[in-house]
Chains A and B, each alone.
Chain A
């Protein structure tokens, strides 16, 4: 079993839709969970960061972590064409100075 599993999609939605992106993981030591967004031919950029279980909201984006189920989610409300990108989940066991383990990424396309 891979450490981090993420459905690669692609996922296509109309503008304004609610998008749900998910990852599962196997390592119970993971405590720090991140979502990165990567536009085509660009480097990833941090979208959301969550420590341990719970929810975090930032504008149209909500990150959820359920450590008991080893499951994390990213919700995008009122999706826009500019949200079209690949979304990568990432996680680590330590706060900093350690390698992040990434999912394969889910490619999202939002049509206007």
Chain B
């Protein structure tokens, strides 16, 4: 069972260009979360999506950032007109609708991908 797949793993962009990061959740998972990790900072929540719906985008910058999770295909985090401050690792995580562990407890566990590292020159 493949895990959460993110691509590209590394992306270099010049200021003003666009960055597109893709995330394919684990099989059977319909919830996707995007987090950003800046150097020396923790993981910061950006957006939570289900298929064709943005559920919570309270962590998304108001401008230049957008996310989607279409009915078919991966979730995409799009950053327009990138600036140097956008350089970070962007992690995608997924969870199923109802996750019950072997102990019968819903753990609400998030399964993370290996991240996409964006460098803005």
Contact = CB atoms under 8 A, between A and B. Distances in A.
A103 B56 contact: no
A104 B40 contact: yes
Interface string B51-72: 0000110110000000000000
Contacts, number: 69
Contacts of B114: 41-43
Interface residues of A, number: 29
A6 B106 CA distance: 26
Contact of B113 (A32, A43, A92, A99): A43
A4 B98 CA distance: 27
A101 B108 contact: no
A44 B59 contact: no
Nearest to A96: B108
Interface of B: 4, 31, 33, 35, 40-45, 48, 55-56, 58-59, 91, 93, 95, 98-99, 105-115
